[in-house]
Structure 1
Amino acid sequence: MIDRRLTLGLLAAAAAASPALAAPTIGQPAPGFSAVDADGRTRSLSEFRGKTVVLEWTNNGCPYVQKHYNSGSMQSLQTTAAKDGVAWLTIVSSAPGMQGHLTGAEAKAWKAREKAASTAVLLDPTGAVGRAYDAKTTPHMYIIDKTGKLVYMGGIDDRASASPESLKGATNYVSAALADVKAGRPVAQAATRPYGCSVKYGSAG
């Protein structure tokens, strides 16, 4: 009995020492992270402090992602955000061997081919950044304000379809949230349901 109690105590201590990641929460500081970009540079969220930041989870093999890139709507949104001084980080959390996984060279080629206007493409092959944000789909979108607080998370728009036709008349939640942030207003719809392909984490995910 003593040994069993000791074992349970050790397990409890271990759990306390390495708690599970807390889910990201609107109005709370966004989880910090660092990741290597397509150019091989280590980038961190902290380097963008003082700027509005958009996080976009992507997978170039996902038809939902392709809808937004093939139509040019994602690039248009990125370009508009960049003009307002927003840092846009596109994140690839697909594990090696999984759909959408990209090496640095492949990520650079993909960005050039798509004429993407994101600030950087970040590679997250272990899924550490994706899990910290509880990213579930591609695309899955997050907005962090200039103080480092999470002010939006969810879908890119209100049309959960891979059809390009669904873009007509869609309400773009990210565009609306960025407009609220720019105007100094609280984000009207701070959390929505994301849609798309599941993030292709490795076996640990």
Structure 2
Amino acid sequence: MMKRFTVCAMAVLLGLSAVAQSVAPAFALPDINGATHSLSHYIGKIVVLEWTNYDCPFVRKFYETGTMQAMQEEYTAKNVVWLSICSSAPGKQGNLSLDEWKLRVKANGSKATAVLLDESGRVGHAYRASNTPHIFVVDKDGNLAYQGSVDDQRTADPKTAGKGRNYLDEALYALLAGNPVPTPMTKPYGCSVKY
């Protein structure tokens, strides 16, 4: 029985290690100002991919409390690239016109490097982004180092923002220090991506 448990535990750890070492899918997407951002342009930098939908209460939890913007500001100041991505399809919640996007980004005080639009859902599907927010961290070599939730507070209650264990913060802190990410994968939570 113990031997079987050990073998299963090793398989899980090897699976997590494989996730951490998988190459991040390449993409090129326009931002809300019309510039195109390609993941390949950021080789040599740590990149955060934050799937977002400003109308999702789980996303609002982080933005209305300033928690997401504080992380964006802290890590972009450390040369981390932060790309917020919206994969909401036309006519679905979270899909906005360019003018609406510009107003909402300004109103939210986003400190992301750029907000990218993925209306076709092609990039979201390539990453298997399932929730908003769903976070992916790409290391300097272009490998996925972390994917999952921002934290362990699986609720939309704003009182929980900035509380508990912050997996994203842990991942970025480790990578900036040249260390392996302690928890390379967690289960994301939030609204479903509106493909």
TM normalised by structure 2 equals 0.89
1:1-205 maps to which residues of 2 (within 5 A)?
25-167=19-161, 169-201=163-195
Kindly state the Cα deviation for residue 168 of structure 1 after the two structures are TM-superposed: 5.5
Kindly state the Cα deviation for residue 89 of structure 1 after the two structures are TM-superposed: 0.2
Kindly state the Cα deviation for residue 102 of structure 1 after the two structures are TM-superposed: 1.9
DSSP-derived class of the 2:136 partner:
strand
Kindly state the Cα deviation for residue 70 of structure 1 after the two structures are TM-superposed: 0.1
For 2:87, the aligned partner's letter is S
Aligned residues: 178
**What does residue 19 of structure 1 align with?**
none
For 2:111, the aligned partner's letter is A
1:80-125 CA-to-partner distances (Å, cap 9, x unmatched) read: 1111100000000000000000222222221111111000000000
CA distance in 2, matches of 1:131, 1:173: 23
Cα pair 1:93 1:127 within 8 Å, conserved: yes
Q: CA, structure 1 residues 144+168, in 2 after alignment: closer, same or farther (shift >3 Å)?
A: closer
Structure 2: gaps of 5 or more residues: 1-17
CA distance in 2, matches of 1:39, 1:149: 27
DSSP-derived class of the 1:61 partner:
coil
CA distance in 1, matches of 2:174, 2:152: 17
Higher radius of gyration, 1 or 2: 1
CA distance in 2, matches of 1:60, 1:89: 14
TM normalised by structure 1 equals 0.84
Identical-pair percentage: 47
